[in-house]
Each structure stands twice: as C-alpha cells, then as structure tokens.
Amino acid sequence: MNSTLNDANPDSSTEPVLSVRNLQTVFRTDRELIRAVDGISFDISKGETLGIVGESGSGKSVTARSIMGLVDSPGEILPKSSIKFNGEELTEYTDAEYQQIRGSGIGMVFQDPLKSLNPVYTVGNQIKEALRINRGISGQEATDKAIELLEDVAIPDPARRLKEYPHEFSGGMRQRAVIAMMLACDPDLLICDEPTTALDVTIQAQIIELLQDLQEERDLAILFITHDMGVIAEISDRVNVMYAGEFVEKAPVTELFENPKHPYTEGLLDAIPGTNAEKERLNTIEGDVPTPNEQATYCRFAPRCPKAFEDCEQVHPVHVPISEDGEHSAACLLYPEDRSTEEAVEYHRERGREAEDVPEGDHA
Amino acid sequence: MSKPSTSPSSATDQPNETLVEVEGLKKYYGEAGRFSGPPVKAVDGVTFNIEEGETLGLVGESGSGKTTLGRTLIQLETATEGRVSFSGQDITKLSGDELKQWRKNAQIVFQDPESSLNDRMTVGELVREPLDAHDWKSPAERREKVRSLLSAVGLQEDHYFRYPHQFSGGQRQRIGIARALALEPDFLVLDEPVSALDASVQAKILNLLEDLQEEFGLTYLFIAHDLSVVRHICDRVAVMYLGKIMEIGETEELYTDAQNPYTKSLLSAIPRPDPTSERTRITLPGTPPSPRDPPEGCQFSTRCPAKIRPEQFADLNDDTWDAIEQFREVVRERTRLDVGVRDRMKRQLGVFSKFDDIEAAATELFDDVEIPPDVEKPIQTAIEHVKDGYPGRARNHLKAEFGGVCDTQRPEMHPVSESGRLSYCHRHSDEYADVDTTLERRTDGH
C-alpha cells in the first residue's frame, strides 16, 4: 500500500474523485448548536486511501455520513460547505439524485455488517437486488454476476453461499458480503467506517488485505475511518487526524508516524499499549473529547494539551505547512517552528482573519 | 494432555505460591437430552496454574472459549469435567453456603460497562451491594468502605449519590472495578475490561488496574482479544483457540519468539502502528470451525499454515495442496447443512440434486493448478459423495486420503523454552521439521 504513495503523487494533478471543502455539519438541539464537523477540507484521488483517525466523538462518522447524504434532521450541512464527487456538487443534490450516487458512485461499509444486511433475505437476493436496481441486470445473468462478486471478495463456495441468510455467515464473511454488495454498484469511492473494529485480528487482516487487493484491481479511492492507529498505518496513504470536528494534522502516513507535530497526534501515538514494552506506565491524554458547541475561536485541544499556553484559549490555530510540498500540515500555535511564539501566534491570527474573509478559500 | 509442568518452572524465578490450579478443565454446553446434537465444546481440557500476585493474560479470537474459561474458574458456570483449586481447595465441588462464602475470594469485572451496571441504582448502592449480600460488618462501616473504594478507583466521594448514566464509559468501568473489589478478593477475572473504551481511556484503566494490583496484592486473569494490551499488563500469557490452550508462557518471550503456528499467525495479524514495517504477514484462511464439531486432531488444523502433510504428498506443489485444503473446507462446510425430509427421500431414491453445485466449486478451486492422478481420484470420489447427498462421507474420504497427523491426532503440550513455555503442536516433536523452517519455506514460495 505504501508503495502506491509515490505513484499516486504525479496523478494528483488530475481531478480528485472526492473533494471536500469547508464541510460544516451541525446538529441543532433546543439548547445549543453542536458543530460535529467544523470546517474540514480534503481530497481523495483514484487508487488512493485517505485515513481519518480520532477518538470517539471526534466527528469521523458524521463526516462519512455527510458525504453519503445520510445526515438527517436535526442535523444539517451548512450552506458554505462543498462536497464535490467527480466534479459534481453533492450538497445541492435532491434525495433522488443522491440515491443514484449511492447506487453507482459511492459505496459505504459500516462497522456492523448486520445492520447493512436484511435478515429475512438471502445474501444472494440482496446482491442481486443491488445489481438489478443499479445496473439493470437480472435473472441468470445477475446470479452469475453475484457469484463472481462473492468470488472477488474471497468467499469460498460462492454458489452455495448465495442461497444462505446473513445469520449463517460469520462476522468476517458478512463484512465481505457487504463489500460485495458495494462492488455490485461498481463504485469509484468506497467509504469504510470502522469496517474491521468488530472483527478479530486474523479476520481484520483478511479484510484489510481484501480491500488492498480490490483497490489495486479497480483503482478505487478509499476513505478509511478508524480509531486504531495500527490499522491506519497499515492501510492509508495519507492520514488526517480529527479532533472535535476539526482536522488537527494532515500528513502522508510514514511522515505522520515518524514525525508527528501536533501534541494531540503525539498523545495518540504515545497511548498505544504494547509498542514500547519496557515502559512501565502508559501515557494518557487527560480528559475527554469536548462537544464542539460553539464557534472555534480557540484551540479545542487546549484544555487537554500538555503544551498549551495562554494564547491557545484566544486564537484559533490554522493549518501550518510543515513539509515543503505542503503535504504535511498541523493546526497548532507552536508552528511555524522557525518563529518565536509571539510571531507564530500573530501568524495564526492573521491567517485566521484572511480565512474568514474568503470562506471558500482552500486552506488544504 | 501433559501434566502441569508450568508450576516448577515459574516457581523457580518467583518464590510465589500457586493460587489457582486448573487441571483438565472442560465446559460443554447442551449435552443433555436425547435429541440434542453434539455438545458445544467451549472449553475442552485446559491445564494451567496462576501464581499469587501475577497477571495471566488469556487471549484468543471470539468463540475461542476464553470468557467461558474465566467464568468457569470462578464458578459462574459449572465445570463439565476437571478440577479448579484455589489454594489447594477444589471449588468445583462447592455448593450452597460454602460456595457463597468462597465467592468473596474471586470476583469478575465485565466487558461492557454500559450493561453491567443497574441504571436504577446509585453508584453507592451498586458498590455496596456485594457488601450487603455478604452481610459485611455494620451499615455505617459499609458506607465508609464504599467511600474508600470510590477514591481508590479514582472517583470522587460525592459520586456516591449519582446514577451510572451520568458517567462516561471509563468512569463506569471504574465503578465496576470498585464493585468487584468491595469484598477484598484475592483473585479478579477481568473479562475484556478495556475493549469497549477509547485508547486514551484504556491507558488510564490499565494504569489503575496495575496500581490496584500493587496496593491490594491482587492476582488477575486478564481476558482480552487485543494482544497489545495484554503485552503491556500481563506477566504470562495463554493463547486459546477453540477451547484449547495453544501456547502458554512468559509474556515478552512469547511475543518476541512465539513457537506455536497459531500464536505466530495471531501476532503477525496485529496491525503495527508503524507504516514502514516490512514484515511478512501470515494471513490465516477462513474462520475457526464450529466448537460443536471441532477437528478430530489439532483444533487449529483447518487453518494452520504449518500443517504437516502426509508423506506421499510431501513433494506436491504448494498451490495444489492449498486447493485441496480449501476443497476440504468447502466439503466440511457442507456437512454443516441440514438435509430436509424431502431431500432425504430424494437421496434414498438416488435423485438428489441439491448439492450439484459442488462441481462448480471444485472447478473454481482446481482450475489453474496441476492435479496428479493420485489427487484427482479421491477428489472425484468426494464430489460424487457430495452430489449423492452425503457430504459426511466425502469429508471422511478426503480425510483418509489427505489427512496427516494433524488431522487425526491431538498434539501434546511440548516445552519450547527454558522458562517452561508450553506449546500445543505436533511440529515440536523431533519427527517433523520445526515451525519456523516450514513457515519460511512456505512464505518464500509465494
């Protein structure tokens, strides 16, 4: 997977499959406005895997659901947000148009495969339904195609399995069946929301391998969401670290693990048990992810940050490029490193004001 | 089953006494009744010891029987066979008042802090409940005890009157721990205590558990499916698969130099938080077989990457052999299917056709591998059996033709290191090439 990273770069001049700009998804409650996703931007190109990592409550799943158009009232995507899929602006789509995209452009794999499968229909039935609705294939042709799809996701004895119900499948097998259903729609983009979290490690390894093979065969773009740093390291080309609705650090995967810049990323990497066996105690990040219920005029990580100083409560950090090609950036007042703290804070203040003036501007 | 040879070895470097001795423990479900099928063999003969003050990790995939083993150890389940003794006393024989008295010594912390606490009781009541149940001292002393427990697990004393829903997952797990500690037990079963928590919260609970162990001199059985957590907290680890302990020994040693093929595969499947790591991953095929119908030989034989081949097939091309193994798995899966009354009649009349699609499956598997005649014939026979509606016969036929020692005989626990680590595998006996050589040869071939 990592080897494709270098190959992917020259292609990035072409149009990305998915391009998200300033996505803001909010939930209105009686008391407050919860900014579950607060102004994130990213691109995914063909054949590339973008990982989004963060603790629970950081807004990872809402991001995925926003792209799929699955945010229901009281949730709402704010007007200035933009989600472009193959050049089409998805935020302006009607429900019917969205249905079309879900059928043929974007596939989504959830954590719990049982929720994506109907218990009273056979697996074959459900795959054939997807084929009939989205690609107009039916009858024997659909059956043959369904067998082929199950073979593609490495389910043994596919003809027999087609006639079985979801409860007769094991957990890993169900997840494969869901992936097969998604492939039935021949998607360009696959969104995987914690697809391996509920599975055992040996089965997780199988699914990761399967996703990598499928990506290679079909040149899929994959958005992979997880809280597991190990899985992220294995599957992603690039990683965005999410915290309280915002991206705090973006980097190519090797760079992120070798050279983490944001204190939150450092904390996440330090809290992984078992990596340094000789260490007596595990490092922890104090406190919990806050609920982002007001505008970000400060750093949301500051209350838990070991390196926080006074200005962190006052100034909202913008993304500062760390590497020269701009592939690695962190949103923290400690950067740019070559400036004094005061200068750095001033830099963030300045850039923050600019961004407000040009809300559409791509601060990717 | 070999005799418990773990005790002398671990006793040499630790003067501690053995707290828990488990010998040939079995737990089967659903064997009563004339019409019930074969029992589910959740725990199928395990033998090990836990020293006083140590943390023994129990890892394995879901369905390997680790939770059942933990529950049987503290008599939440009645053992089908075997002995569990605490400080020399066999507790599988206890009942009534004796058992209730003994229960004070061994408690459990459950995996899911959302469902293991009664939402209608305050935190104080929850933690006090075990004290009330055992009529511990006076009510005033109980309340005092609860307060000290709350502060011991890192909660505030004024949390006493709050309800569980007002707490986060990590805090709820702390309540569960306080409750388990109330009767001052010697032994705690921790059943996946951090699996439902976020990484940073996980770390806090693990630190707390280590502190408590030191403070109260506790002995832990730590059940987990996450091997990296286990590596951090455990002194020794037992790896379970389908009701059997595959390997047991000192943690660091087991992680850095695993001997059993299953342990090796399991460790290699953990995603490393290091994108540059260049290791060869052993991806296991398929899923564990049903514990209702475990393999006759080694439990791991259906997925083992180092399975011993019978001699006459030693030179067979690897791809062909893999295809044969996969075909056996397909046939095995078919024996699981029920044949209805109508199909049974058809079978009698010789017009059974439900399983004709086995040919397609076979063609798919053997399509692009070379098949020597001594392989082709048994496969053809097996296909005929399946088509006639008797996948069981096909399965036995294939086993007779292609089965090696791993398919037919249960391995022994072999000592594999100087510290007394034991591993359950035929490859450790001198007759066969050892695990490492075999795995290297195989991964090179691919």
CA–CA separation, B223 vs B221, rounded Å?
6
Give B121→chain A minimum CA distance, Å. 25
Kindly report the backbone phi and psi dihedral angles of residue B47, in degrees, each rounded to the nearest multiple of 5, phi listed first: -135, 125
What pLDDT is attached to residue B335? 84
For B421-443, write each residue's pLDDT tens digit: 999 999 999 889 888 888 887 76
Report which residue type is found at B268: S
The DSSP output letter for B284 is P
B357:A159 CB<8 A: yes
pLDDT values of chain A reduced to their tens digit, one per residue, 364 residues: 444 444 444 444 568 999 999 999 999 988 888 999 999 999 999 999 999 998 888 899 999 999 999 888 888 999 999 999 998 899 989 888 888 888 788 999 988 888 889 999 999 999 999 999 888 899 999 999 999 999 889 888 888 889 999 998 888 889 999 999 999 888 999 999 999 888 888 889 999 999 999 999 999 999 999 988 889 999 999 999 999 999 999 999 999 999 999 999 998 888 777 665 555 677 777 777 888 888 888 999 999 898 999 999 999 999 999 988 889 999 999 988 888 888 999 999 988 888 766 544 444 4
* 3 state SS of B4: coil
What pLDDT is attached to residue B312? 85
Widest CA span of chain B, in angstroms?
A: 83
Give A202→chain B minimum CA distance, Å. 5
Two tokens, residue A36: 């579950």
What pLDDT is attached to residue A95? 87
> Is the ipTM here above 0.85?
no
Kindly report the backbone phi and psi dihedral angles of residue B34, in degrees, each rounded to the nearest multiple of 5, phi listed first: -70, -30
The yes/no answer on whether domain B6-269 falls in CATH 3.40.50.300 is: yes
For B317-371, write each residue's pLDDT tens digit: 888 888 898 899 889 888 877 777 888 888 888 888 888 888 888 888 888 888 8
Instruction: Report whether pLDDT(B13) > 70.
Output: no
Task: Report the number of distinct structural domains present in chain A.
Answer: 1
Q: Are A284 and A273 in contact (CB under 8 A)?
A: no
For B281-331, write each residue's pLDDT tens digit: 888 888 888 888 899 999 999 999 999 988 888 888 888 888 898 899 889
Instruction: Report whether pLDDT(B140) > 90.
Output: yes
A118 is in which domain, residue-wise? 114-186
CA–CA separation, B397 vs B393, rounded Å?
6
Q: Are A190 and A108 in contact (CB under 8 A)?
A: yes
Q: B284 contacts in A (CB within 8 Å)?
A: 202, 205-206
For B166-196, write each residue's pLDDT tens digit: 888 889 999 999 999 999 999 999 999 988 8
Q: Where are the alpha helices (DSSP H) in B217-248?
A: 227-233
Cα-based distances in Å from B138 to B223, B345, B374: 35, 71, 79
Beta strands B81-86 and B18-29, pairing class: antiparallel
Give B202→chain A minimum CA distance, Å. 9
A273:B229 CB<8 A: yes
Indicate whether A23 belongs to any domain.
no
B15 in contact with chain A, both atoms CB, cutoff 8 A:
no
Two tokens, residue B325: 């193994």
What pLDDT is attached to residue A357? 64
- Indicate which of A164, A165, A168, A201 best probes the interface with B, i.e. most B CBs within 10 Å of its own CB: A201
Indicate whether A166 belongs to any domain.
yes
Minimal Cβ distance to B199: which of A171, A205, A271: A271
Every domain of chain B with CATH number 3.40.50.300 lies at 6-269
Indicate whether A238 belongs to any domain.
no
Indicate whether A143 belongs to any domain.
yes
What pLDDT is attached to residue B15? 56
pTM attached to this predicted model: 0.84
Minimal Cβ distance to A268: which of B199, B269, B281: B199
